[in-house]
């Protein structure tokens, strides 16, 4: 726009300098720059050299886009503080002719916009084997197309995009990461270093149970954690006994606790990232279910048990005591009768016969009874 406006302006000389057809020119002028990047708040010196030409007037054109060309200064040596593509042209005033032109030189300008390297997830600790992404962020740089440069330990080919993805990091990836962006003639400063520390250990999940006994009809809370680090999701496993196959009861919960109402052996595992990186399994935690009616009233169960036991012992002792008291007079009468019986042999034999009859009757009866049982079937 400026280009067209300048070309249409009444200033014949300036418009001729800017709009003159450079392709018709023969020997080119050369531009040298003391440096190609303007530091923040600094400047760059450009020098135009056109040999073989005498009495030239120099003009400079700054181009920041194909539509934005502007005449910025005169003189063979200029000091500039803005980035852009610079071209010098040599003008012969007495003949009103454009005699020479240089190739354009791109001078970058350092912008003060803050640039940072950030970890995609704010994980405080990174473990060997995880996949991570670092991001280069240019504050206020949205809406511009940037190219990125990275400095990183242990690599010859850092990416040129804003994201730096490292699959399966190892301890050797530890170190300082910096980035900067460039867009046309703009260049950001290097970011502060982001120090990546990759831990060589494999993380382990820790499972804790609020209580080891689930009250009848109630539940117990299990907590899973990974020490010193965040961003984990948790998988929960349960098995009936040491020898049964574990079942995944909950998968990928962001909550680090679950509530259980079933006894068993539990363990958990953390996972994060894409692809998912898993921690070691936690140790087993056994949670028992209280047996309804007993376990929940354990103390009130012991009291009647003890009362029952004690009263049982007392009853047994009383019975033994009574038995002895009953037995003693009986034994005395028996020995008395025996001694009296010994005096008369006839009575003794009669008594013996009596017992024999009794025993034979008893045994015979029993036998007959069994026989009759056999025959009846
Ligand atoms: C500046 O010069 C570079 C290199 O010749 C070129 O790629 C770029 O398109 C130019 N930019 C403008 C705005 O003309
Ligand atoms: C051309 O450049 C000037 C100053 O460098 C700027 O103010 C203006 O917005 C630019 N115009 C276009 C169309 O890029
Ligand atoms: C720098 O940031 C400001 C806002 O803070 C923004 O307006 C400007 O476009 C940014 N510069 C670049 C080169 O992105």
Task: Say which ligand is closest to the CA of 63.
Answer: 1
> Are residues 85 and 131 part of one domain?
no
> Are residues 179 and 225 part of one domain?
no
Q: Domain range for residue 269?
A: 205-295
DSSP for 266-324, please give it: EEEEEEETTTTEEPBPPPPEEEEEPPTTTGGGHHHHHHHHHHHHHHHHHHHHHHHHHHH
In a domain, 226, yes or no: yes
Task: Say which ligand is closest to the CA of 141.
Answer: 3
Enumerate residues lining ligand 3, CB below 6 A: 111, 113, 139-141, 144, 186
Q: What CATH number corresponds to the domain at position 42?
A: 2.60.40.10
Distance 137 CA to ligand 1 centre (A): 25
pLDDT digits (tens, 9 = 90+) for 134-145: 999 999 999 999
Distance 196 CA to ligand 2 centre (A): 41
Cβ pair 259, 284 in contact under 8 A: no
More confident residue, 14 or 311: 311
**Dihedral sign (CA 256, 261, 266, 271):** negative
Distance 9 CA to ligand 3 centre (A): 33
> Are residues 37 and 88 part of one domain?
yes
> Are residues 211 and 194 part of one domain?
no
Which atom of ligand 2 is nearest the CA belonging to 65?
14
> Are residues 193 and 213 part of one domain?
no
Task: Say which ligand is closest to the CA of 146.
Answer: 3
pLDDT of residue 337: 44
Whether the CB of 63 sits within 6 Å of ligand 1: yes
Angstrom CA distances, 38 to 30, 103, 196, stand at 20, 19, 31
Distance 68 CA to ligand 2 centre (A): 6
CA 62 – CA 71 distance, rounded (Å): 6
pLDDT range class, residue 51, cuts 50, 70, 90: confident
pLDDT range class, residue 269, cuts 50, 70, 90: very high
Report helix, strand or coil for 170: coil
Enumerate residues lining ligand 2, CB below 6 A: 1-2, 64-65, 67-68
In a domain, 332, yes or no: no
In a domain, 311, yes or no: no
Number of domains in the chain: 3
Instruction: Answer with the one of 199, 231, 258 that is the final residue of a domain.
Output: 199
Q: Identify the CA nearest to 109 among candidates 42, 190, 32, 186.
A: 186
In a domain, 367, yes or no: no
Instruction: Answer with the one of 177, 199, 221 that is the final residue of a domain.
Output: 199
pLDDT of residue 94: 87
> Are residues 243 and 162 part of one domain?
no
> Whose Cα sits closest to atom 6 in ligand 3?
140
pLDDT of residue 20: 56
CA 253 – CA 128 distance, rounded (Å): 23
> Whose Cα sits closest to atom 1 in ligand 2?
68
> Are residues 150 and 230 part of one domain?
no
DSSP for 327-374, please give it: HHHHHHHHHHHHHHHHH-HHHHHHHHHHHHHHHHHHHHHHHHHHHHHH
Distance 84 CA to ligand 2 centre (A): 11
> Whose Cα sits closest to atom 4 in ligand 1?
106
Q: Identify the CA nearest to 61 among candidates 77, 76, 72.
A: 72
Exposure of 229 by Cβ count < 10 A (0-12 exposed, 13-18 middle, 19+ buried)? middle
Distance 14 CA to ligand 2 centre (A): 18
Helix 345-376 × helix 298-343 angle, to 10°: 130
> Are residues 173 and 134 part of one domain?
yes
In a domain, 33, yes or no: yes
pLDDT of residue 60: 96
In the sheet with 115-119, reading across from the earlier edge strand, the strands are 115-119, 132-138, 163-166
Distance 61 CA to ligand 1 centre (A): 13
Distance 144 CA to ligand 3 centre (A): 9
Cβ pair 85, 109 in contact under 8 A: no
- Report the range of poorest mean pLDDT among 69-83, 214-228, 281-295: 281-295
> Whose Cα sits closest to atom 12 in ligand 1?
65
> Whose Cα sits closest to atom 9 in ligand 2?
68
CA 61 – CA 58 distance, rounded (Å): 10
In a domain, 357, yes or no: no
pLDDT of residue 343: 47
In a domain, 358, yes or no: no
Helix (H) or strand (E) holding 135: strand 132-138
The widest CA-to-CA distance across the chain, in whole angstroms, is 183
Q: Say how far residue 141 (Cα) sits from the centre of its chain.
A: 30
pLDDT digits (tens, 9 = 90+) for 329-364: 544 444 444 444 444 444 554 455 554 545 544 554
> Are residues 176 and 225 part of one domain?
no
Instruction: Answer with the one of 74, 107, 140 that is the final residue of a domain.
Output: 107
- Give the side-chain half-sphere CA count within 13 A for 333: 5
- Report the range of poorest mean pLDDT among 2-6, 116-120, 143-147, 190-194: 2-6
CA distance between the termini of the chain: 127
Please give the mean pLDDT across all residues of the chain.
82
pLDDT at residue 366 tops 90: no
CA 194 – CA 177 distance, rounded (Å): 5
> Whose Cα sits closest to atom 2 in ligand 3?
140
Cβ pair 136, 164 in contact under 8 A: yes
pTM for this one? 0.67
Task: Show Cβ contacts of residue 265 under 8 Å, excluding neighbours closer than 6 positions.
Answer: 238, 239, 240, 241, 242, 284, 285, 286
Task: Say which ligand is closest to the CA of 82.
Answer: 2
Percent of the chain with pLDDT over 90: 60
Name residue 151's beta-bridge partners: 178
> Are residues 229 and 177 part of one domain?
no
> Are residues 99 and 11 part of one domain?
yes
In a domain, 362, yes or no: no
> Are residues 166 and 124 part of one domain?
yes
- Report the range of poorest mean pLDDT among 54-58, 112-116, 193-197, 231-235: 54-58
- For residue 275, whether the previous peptide bond is cis, meaning omega lies within 30 degrees of 0, is yes
């Amino acid at each position: 726009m400026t280009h067209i406006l300048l070309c249409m302006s009444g200033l014949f000389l300036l418009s001729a300098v800017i709009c003159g057809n450079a392709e018709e020119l023969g020997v080119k002028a050369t531009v040298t720059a003391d440096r190609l990047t303007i530091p923040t708040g600094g400047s760059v010196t450009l020098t135009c050299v056109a040999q073989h030409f005498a009495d030239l007037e120099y003009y400079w054109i700054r181009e920041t886009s194909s539509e934005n060309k502007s005449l910025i200064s005169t003189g063979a040596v200029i000091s500039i503080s803005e980035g852009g593509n610079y071209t010098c042209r040599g003008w012969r005033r007495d003949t009103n002719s454009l005699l020479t032109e240089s190739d354009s030189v791109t001078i970058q300008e350092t912008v003060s916009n803050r640039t940072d390297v950030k970890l995609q997830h704010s994980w405080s600790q990174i473990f060997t084997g995880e996949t991570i992404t670092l991001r280069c962020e240019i504050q206020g740089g949205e809406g511009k197309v940037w190219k990125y440069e990275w400095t990183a330990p242990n690599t010859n080919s850092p990416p040129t995009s804003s994201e730096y993805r490292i699959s399966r990091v190892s301890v050797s990836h530890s170190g300082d990461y910096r980035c900067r962006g460039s867009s046309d003639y703009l260049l950001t400063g290097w970011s502060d270093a982001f120090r990546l520390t990759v831990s060589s250990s494999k993380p382990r999940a820790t499972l804790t149970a609020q209580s080891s006994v689930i009250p009848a009809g109630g539940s117990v809370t299990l907590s899973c954690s990974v020490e010193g680090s965040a961003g984990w999701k948790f998988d929960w496993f349960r098995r009936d006994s040491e020898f049964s196959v574990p079942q995944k009861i909950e998968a990928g919960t962001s909550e680090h606790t679950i509530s259980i109402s079933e006894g068993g052996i539990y363990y958990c595992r953390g996972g994060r990232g894409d692809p998912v990186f898993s921690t070691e399994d936690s140790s087993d935690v056994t949670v028992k279910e209280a047996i309804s009616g007993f376990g929940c009233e354990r103390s009130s169960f012991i009291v009647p048990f003890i009362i029952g036991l004690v009263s049982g012992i007392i009853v047994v002792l009383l019975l033994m005591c009574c038995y002895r008291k009953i037995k003693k007079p009986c034994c005395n009468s028996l020995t008395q009768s025996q001694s009296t019986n010994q005096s008369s042999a006839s009575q003794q034999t009669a008594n013996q016969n009596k017992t024999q009859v009794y025993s034979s009757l008893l045994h015979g009866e029993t036998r007959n009874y069994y026989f009759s049982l056999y025959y009846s079937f």
